[in-house]
Structure 1
Amino acid sequence: MKKLLSYLFTLGLSITAMAQGDNYVQDYTKYQGLALTPPMGWNSWNKFACNVDENMIKQMADAMVSNGMKAAGYTYINIDDCWHGDRDAKGFIHPDATRFPSGMKALADYVHSKGLKLGIYSDAGSQTCGGRPGSRGYEFQDALTYAEWGIDYLKYDWCNTEGLKAEGAYKTITAALKKAGRPLVLSICEWGTDKPWEWGQNVGHLWRTTGDIYNCFDCIKDHGTWKAWGVMQILDKQEGLRQYAGPGHWNDPDMLEVGNGALTPGEDRAHFTLWAMIAAPLIAGNDLRSMSKETTEVLTNKEVIAISQDKLGIQGFKVSGEDGLEIWAKPLDKGDWAIVFLNRGTLSKKINFEWAKQKVYDDINKLDAAFATTNYTIKNVWDKKDKGASTTKKAFVADVPAHDVVALRLTKKK
């Protein structure tokens, strides 16, 4: 009898311990049903770096509505680094009171009143890249704070992370966000160092695949201990990653430099088009309040945005490349295809593309354009004069200017 009572007592303790243990099991999976197409929005870093304040953010929200970007599909107004003030005695973070005197909740309410969403920035380390308070050790407090403020998007950086392992650190912030209870998009920003495409699908909604973008078309900026990459260099680094992208989980080659002045109008077109082709997030990084007509036309080109936002969520791929002229393809919904001719060279190139002789096949998704047996109508998505009357029955002839693109949408002819 004593043995039986002892056994039942031990069993009871074990059950109690197991039950208590269950209470502390964390949910390391992201919020589902978000970012089913690549996120579209704006971020402060590329143009303004640490020079952020609430008036400027409000003005960007106003501009996104008035300049047609919201109507074109842009949603997020994202504040990058340097919004932070100090932590209080209990460890809760507060915004810089000089720059954000009304507080983040009031700013989020303002952005939401415009039909937009507010994003914010933090870091997995002890300090952000700009030297502000990071989230290490405060993940659950910060997640609760963001939820109370009404934040919709979190970019989570990777500076000052001595001794941390990326997968574990990002799972911690994901668990914190789930515990806080407000669904938001998590942008993993650890620069591709620890191959986030291999583990990030259930942790975040997008992950950086490279170091920072640099505002040039084809160059490398050497900072000594690290390098920033031009548009073409970052494009090349996406090779081999397309199988990891899809609805709710995207490769992120960093934000757009469209409209920031260093790129020509043709380079802006090429940059925007290729980001759309590779299903990259379309996060503008320019001053939305003072855009030129040319920049506005690039960022609000609905035909190109439709390629980006196609519901299949397939990342495009390079078909061929020779003498600086590359051909890119992206399968689209209902059997459509996007085809882009990219001229990386410094001289204009003439193309004479005989469709029936070209093999365009997506070996990951097993989709074949089958140009030899299928006729498509052709729409040039950058040429306003194009009437869409041509088909793939005839060779496509065009000039591709230097550092520019010719981009086509093909629709099966009925």
Structure 2
Amino acid sequence: MKNLKLITFILLYSAFSCTTNQLPEPFAKGEFKNWAETPPMGWNSWDCYGPTVEEHEVIANADYMAENLKDYGWEYVVVDIRWFVENDKAGGYNQTDPIYVIDEYGRYQPAVNRFPSAADGKGFKELAEYVHGKGLKFGIHIMRGIPKVAVENKLPILGTDGITADQIYTTELQCTWLRDNYTIVADKPGAQEYYNSIMNMYAGWGVDFIKIDDLSRPYHQGEIELIRNAIDNCGRPIVLSTSPGATPITAADHVKNHANMWRMVDDVWDTWHHFTNLIKVCEQWYPHIAPGTWPDCDMIPLGRISIRGERGEDRMTRLTPDEQYSLMTLFTIFKSPLMFGGDLPSNDDFTLSLLTNEDVLKMHRESTDVKQIFHDESKVGITSKNPNTGEIYLALFNISEEEYQNVGVDLIQLDITTSCAIKDMWLNLELGEFSESFSQKLKPHSCGLYCIKGNR
């Protein structure tokens, strides 16, 4: 068999895919929006472990989340890229001699040397059961398309009458930065069946969340539609995240009718430039924030990152405390999904405090009508409302490099016509009564996040 040294075949595969005679009931069109009515919150292995994460590390992060974060709404534990490669490496990818683990139907399987519970063809079933036993949800990352080794070896596609992988692929638009897979030609016989076969397998494993990479730039509408169909027919509600950015704004209507969340930018790392770029990119996406469908600011590069990561050495985030407040304020008032990228067991008290502020997370969960009210070279203001309490939220940012600045608003901009009480949400500090205007003196790279109560 061609490329035998690069591929480990697992002949035992998911019982869900091959032993049940009853097809799952399809979900109604658009029902997937009910699966993430508030922005998903969880942990993703990429920022700290790159493509090398191992089962014991996933378990350690799940244990920490269950003990310290679950009560605050954090619930997803996501294994990021290349979990099916036995010999991947930190600081990039092994694209020289990767040893892939794949079954007889061209579907990647977890590498057992990294995920011991996947032995005997069990896939991620036992790891997902462990996460579920903690009261959490389990997720994985995949690349779009079909494995090159499946094409080269003409592996059959489950659910078809003799169609093989080499009959549904094209080399056009192959991912430029990771060349494991080929593009699937969406209208080829067998294309839908291939995506059905992997989603059915993931459903059998107990997957609750799937991040699919290389979908957004360029925007692969055909494959996105195949994926949506496959999830809707797999019998399990699996939240869909498309990655990476920049998702084109021209695809906004399509993506929000096919995915629960979509990346607006490439990877966000722990530098101020990444944050200020994100502020700019967010501007076009405010009108598209809606229950079940969320523009995604990317993972949160805080805490301890790059233990075996893609970018830089093992470190605590390079962002200053002020910059960390700014990043978390933007992510939460914008209602981005919150996927923490640092190694959770390595958190210090300050990092944990950023993830457990009840007022901030209530805003993130309940607010509506998010909009930017000003943005110039040095100042940004964003607001939203809580329809349940009548409270108004206001985020003020000093994005300048050197100058302390007074950053504020005329309260009429927030539809406030009488005096109001204002609270600093991060400091849990009542600031007093204000009328007509409100401003604060902010350091460079710092912000304030405020809850406003009053008659309007």
For this structure pair, what is the TM-score category when the shorter chain's length is used for normalisation?
Answer: 0.7 to 0.9
| Corresponding position of 1:118 | 138
| Corresponding position of 1:167 | 221
Count of residue correspondences: 361
* TM-score normalised over the length of structure 2: 0.73
**Conservation of the 8 A alpha-carbon contact between 1:28 and 1:172:** no
**Conservation of the 8 A alpha-carbon contact between 2:278 and 2:297:** yes
Q: Given the superposition, is the C-alpha separation of residues 233 and 58 from structure 1 closer, same or farther in structure 2, using an over 3 Å criterion?
A: same
| Corresponding position of 1:272 | 328
| Corresponding position of 2:74 | 74
**Conservation of the 8 A alpha-carbon contact between 2:407 and 2:439:** yes
The equivalences for 1:395-406 within 5 A come to 395-396=437-438, 398-406=440-448
Give CA deviations for 1:311-349 in whole Å, capped at 9, x if unaligned: x544x3221234512222122223221111101123352
**Match for 2:425 among 381, 388, 391?**
381
Q: Given the superposition, is the C-alpha separation of residues 48 and 143 from structure 1 closer, same or farther in structure 2, using an over 3 Å criterion?
A: same
**Conservation of the 8 A alpha-carbon contact between 1:40 and 1:76:** yes
Q: Which residue identity is paired with 1:96?
A: A
CA deviation after TM superposition for structure 1 residue 375, in Å: 3.2
Question: Distance between the aligned counterparts of 2:300 and 2:109, measured in 1?
Answer: 29
The equivalences for 1:4-403 within 5 A come to 29=30, 31-66=32-67, 68-84=68-84, 85-103=100-118, 104-126=124-146, 130-132=178-180, 136=184, 137=191, 138-158=194-214, 166-195=220-249, 196-218=251-273, 230-259=274-303, 260=305, 261-310=317-366, 312-314=367-369, 316-322=370-376, 324-333=378-387, 334-347=389-402, 349-351=404-406, 353=408, 357-360=410-413, 369-371=414-416, 373-384=417-428, 386=429, 388=430, 390-393=432-435, 395-396=437-438, 398-403=440-445
**Conservation of the 8 A alpha-carbon contact between 1:86 and 1:133:** no
Q: Which residue identity is paired with 2:245?
A: W
* TM-score normalised over the length of structure 1: 0.80
**Conservation of the 8 A alpha-carbon contact between 1:28 and 1:171:** no
CA deviation after TM superposition for structure 1 residue 412, in Å: 2.7
Q: Which residue identity is paired with 1:398?
A: Q
Question: Distance between the aligned counterparts of 1:102 and 1:279, measured in 2?
Answer: 35
**Conservation of the 8 A alpha-carbon contact between 1:326 and 1:342:** yes
Give CA deviations for 1:290-330 in whole Å, capped at 9, x if unaligned: 111111111222221111111x544x322123451222212
Q: Which residue identity is paired with 2:130?
A: Y
Q: Given the superposition, is the C-alpha separation of residues 131 and 86 from structure 1 closer, same or farther in structure 2, using an over 3 Å criterion?
A: farther
CA deviation after TM superposition for structure 1 residue 241, in Å: 1.6
Secondary structure in structure 1 of the residue aligned to 2:278: helix
Secondary structure in structure 2 of the residue aligned to 1:258: coil
Q: Which residue identity is paired with 2:344?
A: L
Q: Given the superposition, is the C-alpha separation of residues 142 and 27 from structure 1 closer, same or farther in structure 2, using an over 3 Å criterion?
A: farther
Q: Once the two structures are aligned, what percentage of the paired residues are identical?
A: 27
- Bigger shift: residues 265-274 or 29-38: 29-38
Give CA deviations for 1:360-404 in whole Å, capped at 9, x if unaligned: 2xxxxxxxx322x233321101114x1x36123375453312211
Question: Distance between the aligned counterparts of 1:90 and 1:352, measured in 2?
Answer: 59
**Conservation of the 8 A alpha-carbon contact between 1:375 and 1:412:** yes
Q: Given the superposition, is the C-alpha separation of residues 343 and 160 from structure 1 closer, same or farther in structure 2, using an over 3 Å criterion?
A: closer
Q: Given the superposition, is the C-alpha separation of residues 75 and 130 from structure 1 closer, same or farther in structure 2, using an over 3 Å criterion?
A: farther
- Bigger shift: residues 343-352 or 205-214: 343-352
**Conservation of the 8 A alpha-carbon contact between 2:213 and 2:242:** yes
Long gaps (5+) in structure 1: 1-24, 219-229, 361-368
CA deviation after TM superposition for structure 1 residue 32, in Å: 3.7
Question: Distance between the aligned counterparts of 2:266 and 2:405, measured in 1?
Answer: 34
Q: What RMSD in Å do the two structures reach over aligned CA positions?
A: 2.6
Q: Which residue identity is paired with 2:209?
A: Y
1:412 to 2:454 alignment: yes
Question: Distance between the aligned counterparts of 2:352 and 2:258, measured in 1?
Answer: 34
CA deviation after TM superposition for structure 1 residue 245, in Å: 1.6
Q: Which residue identity is paired with 2:434?
A: T
**Conservation of the 8 A alpha-carbon contact between 1:123 and 1:135:** no
Question: Distance between the aligned counterparts of 2:33 and 2:383, measured in 1?
Answer: 29
CA deviation after TM superposition for structure 1 residue 80, in Å: 0.8
Question: Distance between the aligned counterparts of 1:38 and 1:309, measured in 2?
Answer: 7
Secondary structure in structure 2 of the residue aligned to 1:95: coil
Give CA deviations for 1:174-208 in whole Å, capped at 9, x if unaligned: 11111211011001225234444221122111111
Question: Distance between the aligned counterparts of 1:390 and 1:92, measured in 2?
Answer: 60
Question: Distance between the aligned counterparts of 2:353 and 2:130, measured in 1?
Answer: 27
Q: Which residue identity is paired with 1:123?
A: M
Question: Distance between the aligned counterparts of 1:352 and 1:188, measured in 2?
Answer: 35
Question: Distance between the aligned counterparts of 2:395 and 2:35, measured in 1?
Answer: 28
**Conservation of the 8 A alpha-carbon contact between 1:122 and 1:155:** yes
Question: Distance between the aligned counterparts of 1:375 and 1:283, measured in 2?
Answer: 37
